[in-house]
Amino acid sequence: MEEAYKLDKGQVGIAGEFYALAELAGLGYNSLRCLKNNPVYDIMAYNDNKNEATLFQVKTSRPGYSSWSIGAERCRENDIKPLFYIFVKLKKPGYRPDFYIVPSKIIKQYIANHMRRLDVKEYKDLPSPHIQWRDNVDNYFERWDLIKK
């Protein structure tokens, strides 16, 4: 497990994106990773059977962590459909990570509820521009079926 902890933040993110690409390929999607940091999506996947592209924002956590940082203000820009979040939970090297597939509307709702709890109306008034998502994680464990609907 020690080796995985040595990854810096950028390496953790890239590892998660490549794991997600591999899973999508196994599901029959032709997928492309953005070469630069796109604020809305990291992966565009095309399904020949549906003749449709789906966009994914990938968030990755290190081994031992069970939360993911989401840019709250960027989420309001994510009205692109279909858009999903893939939360990747890395494990020690040599082990397949866990995947949590969440529709963007769920994340937007989570952020809106967080802002209501804090009695904040504007993103700029949040104590931090990032929100940690950890609620109801298990409800989305391996829910690749959500992208097929």
Domains in the chain (CATH in brackets) are: 2-148 (3.40.1350.10)
Average pLDDT over residues 118-143: 78
Amino acid identity for residue 104 in this structure: S
Residue 86 has pLDDT above 90, yes or no: yes
| CA–CA separation, 71 and 25 (whole Å) | 27
Q: pTM of the entire structure?
A: 0.85
Q: Please list the residues that pair with 126 across neighbouring strands.
A: none
Query: Pick the residue with more confidence: 137 or 16?
Result: 16
Q: Which residues, 6 or more positions from 58, have their beta carbon under 8 angstroms from its beta carbon?
A: 13, 16, 17, 20, 42, 43, 85, 86, 88
| CA–CA separation, 84 and 104 (whole Å) | 5
| CA–CA separation, 73 and 131 (whole Å) | 10
Let me know: does 76 contact 115? Beta carbons within 8 Å.
no
Four-CA torsion 20, 17, 81, 142, nearest 10 degrees: 30
Using pLDDT thresholds of 50, 70 and 90, give the confidence band for residue 4.
Answer: very low
103-129 pLDDT, tens digit per residue, is: 988 888 888 877 777 777 776 677 666
> What percent of the chain is predicted at pLDDT more than 70?
84
27-40 pLDDT, tens digit per residue, is: 999 999 988 777 78
What's residue 80's pLDDT? 64
What's residue 119's pLDDT? 77
Let me know: does 110 contact 135? Beta carbons within 8 Å.
yes
Q: Where are the beta strands (DSSP E) in the chain?
A: 30-33, 43-47, 52-61, 68-71, 83-89, 98-103, 130-133
Using pLDDT thresholds of 50, 70 and 90, give the confidence band for residue 24.
Answer: very high
